[in-house]
Structure 1
Amino acid sequence: MHTPTHPATRAWVRMPSGRRLDLLDPTPFDWDDADLALGLARTYRWGGHSAWPLPLSVAQHSIAVMLLRRAAGPLSPLEELRELLHDAEEGLLGFDAISVIKPFLGDAFRDLTRRLEHAVFLRYGLPAWDARSHAAHKKADRLAAATEAVHVAGWSAEEVRRTLKIRAAVLGEDPLAVHYGCRPWEPWAPALASERFLAELERLKHAIHD
C-alpha cells in the first residue's frame, strides 16, 4: 500500500478540467492537455516584465524554441514534441523562476520541478535527453532567451552579454511572425497563446501516432 509522504499537508492544486495535480507526488494523469496549454499561457517569462502591454508567456516561448530547433536541423515529431514541452513543468506549477533567484530556492524546489518534469515525460512518452540533443536544445533556448531579452524585455544587446551572460546572437527576424504572420516580437494574449500551444501539441501527438 502506498504511504503518503506528506499526509498532513495539502499539496494538490485543482486544474481547470477539475483534475487534481499533486505537486509533491505528481502522476501523468493529473492534468489534461488544455490544462497544460492554459497554464503555460498564463505563466510568464522575465518575471512578467515586458516592454509591451502584455508579458511573454512560456507557451509562446516554447513554440519559438521548437521552431528554432526545427530550423537548425530535421527533427522527428517526437523530438519536436520534446522541444515544445521543454518547460511544461512550469505551466503545471504556474511559476517560471528567473535565473537570479534560482540559487536561493534550494534543493527542495529543484526536486519538485524534476518530479513534475518526470511526470510530463511519462505522460507524453518523451525520450530522455542525450548529450547531443540537449546541447542542440540549449543552443535554441539561449537564442530565444537573448532575443526575448532585447525585443520583449527591453535589455540592450550589450546588457544581454555582460549582465545576463548570454552569448547567443540576437535574432533580427521573429520565427513566430514568419510562422503565424503575427506582429514581430509582440507577446500574445493568454487565450491566443493557449490556443496555439494546444494546436501544436495536438498536431505532434497525431503525427507520432499516425
Structure 2
Amino acid sequence: MTATREEPAPQRAWVRLYSGKRLDLLNPTPFDWEDSDLAMGLARTYRWGGHSKWELPLSVAQHSLFVLALRRRWSPDADDPRADLRELLHDADEGLLGFDCISVVKPFLGPAFRALTASLERAVALRYGLAPWTSAQRRPHKRADRIAAASEAVHVVGWTPREVRATLRIPHSPLELDPLAAVYGGTPWEPWAPTLAAERFLFELRALCARL
C-alpha cells in the first residue's frame, strides 16, 4: 500500500483581536476590527523597543495623541476633524500588527514587510475615509512626528539632546513641556498604563468620527 502524503496545513495569517474578531494580516479588510481593538492594540504596542526610564514603556496610542496635540497647536486649520483623524491614525497599522519596528531595523525587514504594512494602511484608510497625504500636508506631519520622537527620546527613554541629533539623526530639539499634560493632567512625560491609553485614544477616535 502506498502511503499518502498529507498536504501541509495552510499558514495561519490571522490574529484574534480584543473583541474576538479575526484579522487576516495578509488580506485585511476594513471590517476586520472594532475601534476598541485598534485602541487596545495601539495601547499595547510600545515605541522605542519597549525601553523606558519610567516604570512603563510608551505606547503608540499615547504617541498618536501627542502628535495630534501638536497638530492642533500648530496647524492653521486646527478645527478640521478629518485632518485630526488622519493625524491620530498615522500609526494605526502598528496597532493592528502589534509591532512598532525601531527605525534602524526597518531596512533589514525587506519589501515583504513593507507590503504587509501597506495593506494594513489601506484597510485603515478605507475604514475611516482617510485621503492620502499631499506633500504640503506631509511636511508638517513629519515635523510634528519627529519633534514628538525627539521629546520622547529625551524625556521617556533617557537619550541626551546631543544624542538625539548626533546618533538618532533627528534634526529637532525636544520640547520642554509635555503637551499631553496640559490636556489630561498627570505627571509630564510619564507613560500611561495600557488601559488608560486605550481609553483616551478610543474617546478621541469616536469623538472625531462623530464629527465627520
TM-score (norm 1): 0.95
| Amino acid in the other structure paired with 1:116 | L
Counterpart pick for 1:194 among 198, 201, 208: 198
Work out the percentage of aligned pairs sharing the same amino acid.
65
One-letter amino acid matched to 2:52: S
Aligned pairs for 1:11-30 (under 5 A) are: 11-30=13-32
Match of 2:68 among 45, 66, 69: 66
Partner SS state of residue 23, structure 2 = strand
How far apart are residue 100 of structure 1 and its match? 1.1
Q: Is 1:92 equivalent to 2:96 in the alignment?
A: yes
**Shift in Å at residue 182 of structure 1?**
1.7
Q: CA separation in 1, counterparts of 2:186 and 2:81?
A: 24
Task: Give runs of aligned pairs for residues 123-162 of structure 1, distance below 5 A.
Answer: 123-162=127-166
Counterpart of 1:121 in structure 2: which amino acid?
A
Give 5+ residue unaligned stretches, structure 2.
Answer: 1-8
- Let me know the Cα RMSD of the aligned residues: 0.9
Residue 8 of structure 1 aligns with which residue?
10
Residue 185 (structure 1) aligned with residue 189 (structure 2): yes
1:45 partnered with 2:47: yes
* 10-19 or 189-198, which deviates more: 10-19
Q: Matched residues in 1 for 2:40 and 2:13: separation?
A: 20
2:186, 2:111 → 1: CA distance?
A: 40
Work out the CA distance in 1 between the residues paired with 2:201 and 2:81.
15
Distance 1:126 1:114 in 2: 14
Secondary structure class of the residue paired with 2:15: strand
Aligned to 2:33: 31
Q: What displacement does 1:140 show?
A: 0.3
**Following TM superposition, where does structure 1 have runs of at least 4 consecutive aligned residues deviating by more than 6 angstroms?**
none
Structure 1 spans left out of the alignment, 5+ residues: 1-6
Shift of 1:207: 1.3
SS at match of 1:152: helix
Q: CA deviation at 1:8?
A: 2.1
Give the secondary structure class of the aligned counterpart of 1:21: strand
Whole-angstrom distance in 1 between the partners of 2:72 and 2:172 = 17
The one-letter code sitting in structure 2 at the alignment partner of 1:165 is R
Using the size of structure 2 for normalisation, the TM-score is: 0.94
- Per the TM alignment, residue 59 of structure 1 is displaced from its structure 2 partner at its CA by 0.1
Equivalent AA in structure 1 for residue 84 of structure 2: E
